[in-house]
Each structure stands twice: as structure tokens, then as C-alpha cells.
Structure 1
Amino acid sequence: MAAPRVLICANPEKGLIWTKQDAAEKLAGVAEIVELQSANRAAFFEDCKTKYAGVTAVYRHNDSASAIGFFDKELIDHFPESVKLVAHNGAGYDQIDVAACTARGIAVTHTPLAVDSATATVGAYLAISALRQFHRAEVNVRTGQWKSGLIPALDPDGKTVGIIGMGGIGSALARRLLAFDMKVIYYNRNEVSPKPDFPCTYVSSVEELLRQSDVVSLNLPLNDKTKNSFGKEQFAQMKKGSILVNTARGGVVVEDDLIAALESGHLFSAGLDVFPDEPNVNPKLVAMDNVTLLPHMGTETRDTQRKMELLVLDNIASFVKGDGLLTQVAEQKK
């Protein structure tokens, strides 16, 4: 009996840690590996009839979008009938139409936990930089201005950070900011149970969190319910002189409303790792020297990328061996 075929939609030449050896070790004796060869989306649709015929599982990395686009309904509907799993390399999976996969009986997995530490470290950096204005100070040093034009910034000590979404990343962020003597409050749809093993306080509404917080960190997925959910109303509820940190997805925030809150001085600063139209960044944000900007660096470490890639392969190996899925997306587990 022929081994199940696994299509790897990733490009190792773009700096990925994924190698043929990794996949060969994880899938040895259980699957045949097929690498993405399609130059564009149209070619991919044709190749699904030939080169990728009989594929059972698809390993998806975000960089495949540069060649074949997002895994939207159109693309998913061109999959061979044999495809039963999309194993995504990433915790966020807004580039995949889960409903379209579900309709075709295709399971979807992602990589939670593997991304928590690295993304939380980025969030902590953005929070501290936004408070202390380290980005502005570094630009001064690099341009020979020393302390010219710098204004007194803010200490983290005693400040309250409000975390919207106390999942794995939010919890890891809380632990990091507690080391700076910050107070942690959080909002989830439900209070975390059992209670976290670090000092934190649950608040029952976003409004209450915004009223209390000096720093607000967004740690929630992008979906139909959260898209553009943080806008003018929420910024108005935040303390004057407070800070927004976003390591979630740019689409969660109404960008024009964020810019207005910064320009008016209602927000002291912001720390952003994600943007609505990546890789494009609004020129108004780029021009603001009180905003720390990063190019979606959440998981840009060799250690974390390897953990993510191996988890994807573990999901595939478990699936093709009939042992179930390790990290299936929440929508399909209801």
C-alpha cells in the first residue's frame, strides 16, 4: 500500500529552519514528502490535478502566500479530494478559511504554546520601549543628537498592565512584566481556571480593564468577531497618557482611530509588531517618533521557529498514523 503523500507548502530558501532531514526523520516510513513547486496560484490549481494528486496532508507556512496566496475558499476548493489535513505553521490562522476546510472534511491544526515565549518577549520589549521611549532615544544616538528633544518618559514600576486575552502568550507576557514591578489585570470571556500561578486580577469587562490600565496589551486572535473591535470607543475609555501594545494582529485595531488617539495626545505612545496591511505600514505611524514599530517579529527566532516546525510535523505524523491531532483549531473542536 502506498504511503500517504504530504505536501510541504514552504520555502526553506527564505531562511526557514525546516529541512528535508527534519521532515524525513519525523515522517520516516509513514509518508511521502512532496515539495511545493508551483510558481503562482494558477499553476498551483493545475498542479493539484497532477503533481499533488493523492496528497493527504498539507504543511502550510505563511511564506507560501507569496506564491499561491492565502488558503481561502477558492484555493481550498481546488485541493485534491484526498486532502484531509492542513497543518499550519503559526499560532494565528486568519490566513486559512477554516469554515471552507470544515465543509470539505479537512482538519486544521496550528502551533499554540510553541510561540508563547518569543511573542511575549516582543510584547514586553514593546511595553518597556513605549514607556521609557527607548526607540526615540536610540534614533537620537544613531543620528548624533544625544538627548536633544527627549522628554521625561515613564517608569514601569507600579503601573498597571491590562492584558486582553490571558492565553499562553498573555500569561507569558504577564510573568515578564511582573519582573518590572507592574500590576497585572486581565480580561477573558471567562476567568482563567485554575487561577494563574502568578499575581493577577480578573476584570469582568473590557471597559473596566481600559479604565484601570496604564498599558493595554492586545493578545487575541483575528476573526470575524475581533476584526476592527478596538477603535475610537475603546481608545476614549483608556486613561489619558496610557499606552497600547499590539502583538496580536493589525486587523484587530481600527488604525485611523489609533493614529487619532496618538496625534491628540490621549495616548502617550504605542508599541506595534503587527499592522493591517503587512508588509505595508501607515506612513503616519512611521513618522511618529513616540511609537515603537517592529516588522512582525513575534516568532523571529531560530529556537521558536524550530519548535513550530517540529510541532507541525508532529501533527502530520500523528494524523497519518491514525493517532489523532495534537493541536487542532478551536473552531473544529466544538
Structure 2
Amino acid sequence: MPPRILICSTIVWAHDDVKALLGDIGEIVYVDSPDRKAFLSEFKPGGKYEGTIGIYRENTSASKIGVFDRELIAGLPSSVKWIAHNGAGYDPVDVHACIAKGIYLSNTPGAVDDATATTALYLLISTLRQYARAERSLRELKWKPEGVNKVAHDVTGKTLGILGLGGIGLRLAELVQSFPMRVIYHSRHRNPNAPSYCEYFENVEEMLAQTDVLSVHVPLRQDTVGLVGEKWIRKLKPKSIIINTARGKVIDEEALIKALEDGHLAAAGLDVFPNEPEVNPRFFGFPQVTLLPHMGTENQDSQRKMEVRALMNLKDFLTTGRGKDLVIEYNQHPALLTALQKVKSKL
């Protein structure tokens, strides 16, 4: 039996690439299970998902079978060795459950860098110049909002603090050189690929103290929930701005709202929220805050790149025993990485 490859959601933009990339490698099966129970039952002997080695999944599949949590991962057969997640953020997949079961998980970094960075750039410009507030005023036939010139600022010359200088943060750093802005950053480690105009701060609080606009670009993991909390927010310069295009739960929402209420923060630009699609209605009372409904990668060019990259991760694994985008948690499990070198001979 050829290895089965499950497509666990609708391929919207790269549907022609599925057969071109994977058709000669294994049997492609599109998941049509109505719910989680039916999905897991099809992996049993004689089921249409029996013998599955690789799974492509995207967040829309959660509407029927739910996220890939510990329960779902536990229900997968031992034949499953690779899950290719379509997305840079992979919090809908329990990576620790995957590691425990010997399943490898990849994501799609790089494919989302430009789209997410330009979203952050929009939020940065909108909050500093108060453009979203001005547009709302015009749509209400009120012309310019009263006093907007007393709260708006030029972008040029301001200091941008980037929390997490990965691919998205680097792209944003490049984009703001058009003004230019001073760019400072904090990551767990200095980024060796950072250009000379990006100043590294090992001490995050020292960086925050010099920041006019903080842009958050860290993944959501157990250790990053509420990472930007009361302490860090209060270390920011008074009247600074926070931009978030990462994940809503990375920021302590209550601490953020409190800082907006008492004026410590001048504004915020948010594309992500802790309980999407729900948005805390208290944000609607801040005219200086720019809000977007998680628009980071909502364009056909980026979404096609993401689909292709996820499919390529499956192809690379099935043909070479490796995948380029294995998520970072596997670096802490050298035995799994060693085992990955031996996978090709068993496929």
C-alpha cells in the first residue's frame, strides 16, 4: 500500500500543486469526516485513512474535527509521522503531544513574513498618525476628529522596539527604514542575521525604557502566555504604543486596557485577540486604538505561499526524511532529531 497523505482542510489557492508535489509519492486522501469521532475512526484497519504517514492541516479544519489537541493526537495511529501545519503560529497543534508520540510538526515561517510585517506597519502608522480614528470621523460626516493633532505624531525619528526578531520582525525592521525609525530589539538570543541598524538589548526592560512603539512578534507557547504583562507595559516610555500581530494571549489584555485607561499608553494597534473572534468591547471605547480582525495573512498571494510551503514540508519529509520547517521545540529533543535521520529508509 502506498503511503497515504491526508489533506485535512480545503486547499484554496494551491489545489493544482497538491498532485504535482505529492501525487507521485503517495495516495492523496481528502478528509471529509463530519466530526472528530468519525475522523479518528477512519484510521482503523480497513478505514480510508489507514496507513496515513503525513497530514496537512489548516485552521479551518477545526470547525469539524477541532484543533489538534492532546486527545486528537493520542487518537492518531503510529503510522502518522509528520503533521504539516499551514501557518506560522502553530498553537492549534499540541506540539508536546506530538513529541511524546514521535510525530514531527512543521509550520510555514517565511511565507507569512511580508504580509504580517506590512500589517504591523499599517498599525504602527495608523496609531502614530491616528488615521483609523480620522477615517471613522469622516464616515460619520464629522470631518477631522477634534484634537487629533494633539495626540498624533510623525513616524520619522521614533524608536521601534521589536520583541522577537524573527522573520516577521526583521521584515518590519526593513520596512521602517523608509522613514527612518531607530530599531531596537530583544529576543532570547541575538539574531546573527540582523542588519547593523538593529540594536540588540539582552535586557528587555532596558529596551522597553527606550521604546516609542513596541511591536510584538513572539509565538504563543506556554511560556509566552501573558509575556507582555503589567510589569513590562509599565517599563515602556510614558505615552508609548503597543502593536500586536502575533497572538492575543501573548499580551495581558487587562494590563493593556488599564494602561490605556490611565494614559500610560497613548494607543494600541491590535490584529489579534485572546478569544477570537470575540473582541473585548472595552477596546471600542478607545478612539485612539486601531483594531483589525486578524488580517495578517488575509491575501491570496501569502495564502498560496503558505499552502505550497506546507505541502513542500510533506514532500521533503516523504522523499528525504526531513522537512525544512520543523518547529523549534524539537531542538530540545535530540533523540527525535537523530531518529529523523533514519526515517527515510523506513518510508
TM-score, structure 2 length as denominator?
A: 0.92
Q: Which moved more, 1:130-139 or 1:76-85?
A: 76-85
Is 1:325 aligned with 2:286? no
Report the Cα offset of residue 18 of structure 1. Answer: 3.5
Q: What residue in structure 1 maps to residue 337 of structure 2?
A: none
Report the Cα offset of residue 130 of structure 1. Answer: 0.6
How large is the RMSD of aligned CA atoms in angstroms? 1.3
1:210-233 Cα deviation digits (max 9, x unpaired) = 100000011101111111111111
1:192-248 Cα deviation digits (max 9, x unpaired) = 225x23512111211011100000011101111111111111111111110000011
> Which of 278, 287, 297 does residue 276 from structure 2 map onto?
278
Whether the aligned pair in 1 keeps the contact of 2:128 and 2:154 (CA below 8 Å) is yes
Report the Cα offset of residue 287 of structure 1. Answer: 3.0
Whether the aligned pair in 2 keeps the contact of 1:52 and 1:80 (CA below 8 Å) is no
Paired AA for residue 33 in structure 1: I
Cα distance in 2 for residues equivalent to 1:304 and 1:259: 32
Q: What residue in structure 1 maps to residue 264 of structure 2?
A: 266
Cα distance in 1 for residues equivalent to 2:228 and 2:320: 42
Cα distance in 2 for residues equivalent to 1:199 and 1:219: 18
Q: Which runs of 5+ in 2 are unaligned?
A: 333-347
Cα distance in 2 for residues equivalent to 1:237 and 1:99: 33
Paired AA for residue 231 in structure 2: E
Cα distance in 1 for residues equivalent to 2:234 and 2:319: 53
Q: What residue in structure 2 maps to residue 155 of structure 1?
A: 154
Paired AA for residue 181 in structure 1: P
Cα distance in 2 for residues equivalent to 1:250 and 1:48: 34
Paired AA for residue 289 in structure 2: V
Is 1:35 aligned with 2:33? no
Q: What residue in structure 1 maps to residue 309 of structure 2?
A: 311
Q: What residue in structure 2 maps to residue 103 of structure 1?
A: 100
How many pairs does the alignment contain?
328
Q: What residue in structure 1 maps to residue 341 of structure 2?
A: none
Give 3-state SS (helix, strand or coil) of 2:315's partner.
Answer: helix
Cα distance in 2 for residues equivalent to 1:186 and 1:130: 20
Report the Cα offset of residue 323 of structure 1. Answer: 4.2
Report the Cα offset of residue 178 of structure 1. Answer: 1.6
Paired AA for residue 230 in structure 1: V
Q: What residue in structure 2 maps to residue 118 of structure 1?
A: 115
Give 3-state SS (helix, strand or coil) of 1:124's partner.
Answer: helix
Give 3-state SS (helix, strand or coil) of 1:313's partner.
Answer: helix
Report the Cα offset of residue 174 of structure 1. Answer: 0.6
1:101-159 Cα deviation digits (max 9, x unpaired) = 11111111111111111110001100110100111001111111111424211111111
What does 1:89-238 correspond to in 2, within 5 Å? 89-152=86-149, 153-194=152-193, 196-238=194-236
Cα distance in 2 for residues equivalent to 1:214 and 1:148: 23
Whether the aligned pair in 1 keeps the contact of 2:53 and 2:79 (CA below 8 Å) is yes
Whether the aligned pair in 2 keeps the contact of 1:137 and 1:150 (CA below 8 Å) is no
Whether the aligned pair in 1 keeps the contact of 2:133 and 2:145 (CA below 8 Å) is no
Paired AA for residue 273 in structure 1: D
What does 1:36-51 correspond to in 2, within 5 Å? 36-49=31-44, 50-51=47-48
1:246-265 Cα deviation digits (max 9, x unpaired) = 01110101101111111111
Report the Cα offset of residue 191 of structure 1. Answer: 1.6
Q: Which moved more, 1:84-93 or 1:322-331?
A: 322-331
Report the Cα offset of residue 320 of structure 1. Answer: 1.4
Is 1:63 aligned with 2:72? no
Whether the aligned pair in 2 keeps the contact of 1:175 and 1:198 (CA below 8 Å) is no
Paired AA for residue 174 in structure 2: R
Q: What residue in structure 1 maps to residue 18 of structure 2?
A: 23
Q: What residue in structure 2 maps to residue 247 of structure 1?
A: 245
What does 1:5-16 correspond to in 2, within 5 Å? 5-12=4-11, 16=12
Cα distance in 2 for residues equivalent to 1:68 and 1:172: 35
Cα distance in 2 for residues equivalent to 1:25 and 1:321: 14
Whether the aligned pair in 1 keeps the contact of 2:185 and 2:201 (CA below 8 Å) is yes
Whether the aligned pair in 1 keeps the contact of 2:137 and 2:145 (CA below 8 Å) is yes
Cα distance in 1 for residues equivalent to 2:102 and 2:191: 32
Give 3-state SS (helix, strand or coil) of 1:244's partner.
Answer: strand
Give 3-state SS (helix, strand or coil) of 2:116's partner.
Answer: helix
Q: Which runs of 5+ in 1 are unaligned?
A: none
Paired AA for residue 217 in structure 1: S
